[in-house]
Amino acid sequence: MDVFIARQPIFNEHRKLHAYELLYRGTKTHTLTSITGEQATTSLLSSTFLTEGVEIISGSRPCFINFTEELLLKKVPFSFPKTRIVVEILEDVRPTEEIIRACKTLSKKGYTLALDDFVYDRSFDPLIKWVDIIKIDFRLSPLDEIIKTVHKLQRFNVKLLAEKIETQDEFNKAMKMGFTFFQGFFFCRPESIKIKELAAAKLSLIHLLAEVTKKSTTIDRLHEIISRDISISYKLLRFLNSAYFYLVQKVTTVKHAIAYLGEKELRSFIMLVLVSELASDKPEELVRLALVRAKFCELLALESHFAEDASEIYLIGLFSLIDVMLDSTMEEIVNKLPLTPSAREALINDSGEYSLFIDSSKAYERLQPKKLASALAPLQIEQERVAEIYLKAIKYANALT
């Protein structure tokens, strides 16, 4: 049975990746609304740890995973390594004596515990004693209530996680209030739209990106670009010798690497290195997300009647966050790149047939099954294929980052 699993990043105050929350999306025959919380979590755990391997989905980061009252009382968290999971206690779990004992035991054994969607009530005080992280939903609670809750929690030895942070302003407010961790899509939005021209160094990178993007650029010119840049050469060889390719013999020269990859993959690789340089002052997760989107969109295209356009659709995924990377408007940046009208329409106006691929990617990331189904329908892609495609995209991004 295919299990649909997605992940959302959790950052620290320096906007560095701290962990992922793993999200269960149901299966082809069982949606989120048709199964219990126990079934959702056990399916997620078995798929992550027993089938695919947690290293693929979360790398070396811990995974926040929801646990219901029944799963806690059955001691299910003990079946999984304490260094790899954060036991996230759902908001509908009441602080009964049995639950407090179960959480005390987990804490004593070294597990990290978090309370999800927390709204303060004095009855939770005995449970908070054994909890490490408290998650507060910025969409669920008014700001004045959050401030009161933060004040009440100061006497406890807990760290606060601000959930559903969607803007840089909300991130800044939460940080000033004393939050340590942050979850949401704030890192996917420009911090400010700058009127002034882009810095000369970044403008040079965009010009180089434009040259690589041109279909008329030859493989000899690509070879020249790589040979002149030690950083690109190093990253290319490291990428080819990663576990993603499982090569028997190591690739040791740029010439060998070019021969192995071919023009299409080589062009894609140089583009993503340049995009990484453009986002050097942004959270690393931003580039990782752009890579996942690029591969996800490309693989979706190959499953659809847009297979011949897969390379261009890869570009759309890769460039879908370039406005955030440069804190500029999408239109200003896209005007500097030699993209087709269809690609421009998708990136600037979020319209046209190509936009369906970006819409699918965003819907999967944000746990929006109805929007995902709506975007996939015109592409005639079966929804059960999406989980496998998403996992392949993660593997690809892991190899590059």
Q: At 378, which CATH number?
A: 1.10.3210.10
**Domain containing 336: what range?**
200-400
Percent of the chain, pLDDT > 70? 86
Ranking 93-107, 227-241, 276-290 by mean pLDDT, the lowest is 227-241
Instruction: Write out the two tokens for 43.
Output: 């399916």
Q: Which residue has the tokens 């000369």?
A: 200
Question: Which of the listed residues 140, 166, 188 is the one where a domain comes to its end?
Answer: 188
Give the mean pLDDT of the chain: 84
CA distance linking residue 57 with residue 254, whole number of Å: 30
Ranking 229-233, 283-287, 300-304 by mean pLDDT, the lowest is 229-233
The pTM of this model reads 0.81
- Residue 17's φ and ψ, nearest 5 degrees, are -65, 125
Please report which confidence band the pLDDT of residue 27 belongs to, taking 50, 70 and 90 as the band edges.
very low
| CB of 340 closer than 8 Å to CB of 312 | yes
Answer yes or no: is 375 within a domain: yes
Answer yes or no: is 308 within a domain: yes
pLDDT of res. 81: 85
Answer yes or no: is 386 within a domain: yes
Can you tell me the mean pLDDT for 315-343? 91
4 has a pLDDT exceeding 80: no
Q: Residue 127: CA atoms inside 13 Å, Cβ hemisphere, count?
A: 25
Please report which confidence band the pLDDT of residue 259 belongs to, taking 50, 70 and 90 as the band edges.
confident
Q: Are 139 and 46 members of one domain? A: yes
pLDDT of res. 239: 78
